[in-house]
């Protein structure tokens, strides 16, 4: 409107009025464009350019927010780490363009189940808020089936492996949750690949919390607390520990 008033001004007073309108309008438009560019820059900074999924930085922020909210509601959150099997062989035999097409195809298989991210070269993550361990395993198995059934441009089937860990079930710490999911992923690789595994205590080389503690009254008190919480909340003693 301001530009139209300026263009069709027929007198000096009209021109002065139109100019007075154009200046703030231009400032407003410039501010809007600057804000839009800033939002776009932030979006790009959190997006993997090849696949269009969120990147590692985006995943870290979303996971932190999901765990904070879940702790307040005492709800589970499952994370699923997915790694393409023998991806280096695809690049070596068919070239990096074929590898990029595989990455884009795998990304497409992840969409629709939780929030998907590409967090490394051939590693992806699914964030599943409110999802318990059993449902997380079913989601992971469905994703792996879609990946294995996808027709790749280089003519060979591609598979992937998945490792899962669940907040509240396995740990209350974000970094520990990632470490446990990574242990489960390596377990899936050792089991022959193209499968999903959830974290189990026997996968962890780290000692259990109570191992090596002297049998003091404090240590006995911890054991008694574990027993009481287990009984009251219906969790296993290993979970409570």
Q: How many CB atoms lie within 10 A of CB 51?
A: 21
Question: Taking Cα atoms as reference points, which of 14, 3, 120, 17 lies closest to residue 60?
Answer: 120
Annotated active-site residue in 48, 83, 85, 122? 122
- CB 53 within 8 Å of CB 123: no
To the query of whether residue 122 is one of the catalytic residues in this protein, the response is: yes
Which sequence positions are flagged as catalytic? 122
């Amino acid at each position: 409107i301001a530009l139209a008033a300026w263009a069709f001004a027929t007198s000096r007073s009209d021109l002065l009025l139109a100019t007075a309108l154009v200046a703030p309008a231009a400032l407003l438009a410039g501010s809007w464009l600057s804000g839009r560019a800033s939002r776009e820059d932030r979006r790009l900074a959190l997006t993997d350019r090849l696949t269009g999924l969120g990147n590692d930085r985006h995943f870290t922020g979303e996971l932190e927010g999901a765990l904070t909210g879940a702790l307040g509601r005492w709800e589970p959150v499952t994370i699923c780490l997915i790694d393409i099997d023998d991806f280096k062989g695809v690049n070596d035999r068919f070239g990096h363009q074929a590898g990029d097409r595989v990455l884009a195809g795998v990304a497409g298989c992840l969409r629709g189940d939780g929030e998907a991210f590409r967090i490394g070269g051939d590693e992806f993550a699914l964030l599943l808020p409110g999802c318990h361990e059993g449902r997380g395993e079913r989601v992971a198995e469905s994703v792996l089936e879609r990946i294995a059934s996808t027709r790749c441009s280089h003519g060979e089937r591609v598979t992937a492996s998945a490792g899962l860990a669940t907040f509240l079930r396995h740990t209350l710490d974000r970094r520990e949750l990632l470490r446990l999911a990574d242990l489960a992923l390596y377990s899936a690789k050792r089991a022959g690949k193209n499968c999903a595994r959830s974290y189990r205590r026997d996968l962890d080389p780290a000692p259990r919390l109570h191992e090596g503690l002297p049998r003091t009254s404090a240590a006995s008190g911890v054991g008694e607390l574990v027993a009481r919480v287990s009984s009251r909340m219906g969790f296993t003693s290993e979970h409570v520990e």
